[in-house]
Amino acid sequence: MDISHLGKTFDQIEQEVQKIEIEIKLYQAKIIKLSEKNWYEECKKIDAIRAANITNKVKDEFRKIYNPSTILKNISIFKGYRISYFCSAILTRNEMIKKGDTNLVYSYLFLVSHYIELIIKAVLLNKNEGIKATHNIADIFQKNKEYLLEIGLQSNYFFYCLEQIRKLEKYAKTEDFSMCFRYPLDNNFKKRIITENLINITIDELKQIAEEHKYLMIILELLIGLSEKNFYEKVYNFITNFFNECEIY
C-alpha cells in the first residue's frame, strides 16, 4: 500500500500521539496549579462595579467552553467505549489475518466503524457544539473539516481518514453504520444493505483493508489528542485571563 502522501511512517505518527498525550498532561497540571489559587481572595481585590465588568467578560468567555466538568465527564465515557472497540477491532483483525478467516469480516468492520463513530463524536464533544443524532460519519467528518484542521490535524491526514471512511460506506447501502455490518437486509427483509464484493471478499483484500485501517486508527487517536489538547488550552486560557483581569483591576 502506498501511503507516501501521509509523509510519515506509522511509528512517526505514533510518536506524535505520545507527544500530544504529554502536552495534555502538562496542561492538566497547569490547570490544577492555577485552580489552587484562592479565587475568593482574588475577587476581594476588586470593587462591585469593576467586579460586574469582569463577571460579564467571564460569562462571555465561559460560554465558549460551557461547563468543563460536564464535557470531560461525557468525553471520558465516549473514550472508555472507544478503547473497548479499538482493542476488540485489533484482536479481531489479528485473528482474521492469522487464520485467514474471511468470516470475521462483518464483525471486524462493525468494530472499526463503531470505533470511528465514537472517536469522532468524542472529538466533537471537545468542540462543544453538540452532536447530531446521525450515523453518517463521513458527512460529520467532512462538515467539521475547518475545526479539525484548526486544532492541528494535517490536511493529508484529514483526506486519508475521509477516504477510508468513504471506503467503509461503499460496503454498505445505508448510511446507518450501526446497522449495515450487523444485518444483510433492511427492516423489511427486502433491500440488500451489504454489497456483493464484501460477501465474496478474499483474505488478500482483507489484509489490504486491515493495513489501511492501521493508519486510519492511529491518525484518529492523534485527532482525539489534538481536540483534547485544544480544549484544555481553552480552559487554561480562561482561568489565566480571569486572574489577569483581577490583577489589572
The reported pLDDT for the residue numbered 91 is 95
For 168-190, the pLDDT digits (tens) are 877 766 666 667 788 777 777 77
**Contact between 160 and 6 (Cβ < 8 Å):** yes
The reported pLDDT for the residue numbered 191 is 72
Q: What is the pTM of this model?
A: 0.82
The reported pLDDT for the residue numbered 69 is 62
The reported pLDDT for the residue numbered 238 is 78
**Contact between 99 and 119 (Cβ < 8 Å):** no
The reported pLDDT for the residue numbered 169 is 79
User: Smallest Cα–Cα separation from 125: which of 81, 176, 64, 78?
Assistant: 78
In angstroms, the CA 140 to CA 138 distance is 6
The reported pLDDT for the residue numbered 138 is 85
The reported pLDDT for the residue numbered 79 is 83
Exposed/middle/buried for residue 157 (C-beta within 10 Å: 0-12, 13-18, 19+):
buried
**Contact between 209 and 112 (Cβ < 8 Å):** no
Residues of the chain with pLDDT under 70: 1-4, 35-71, 128-135, 172-178, 245-249
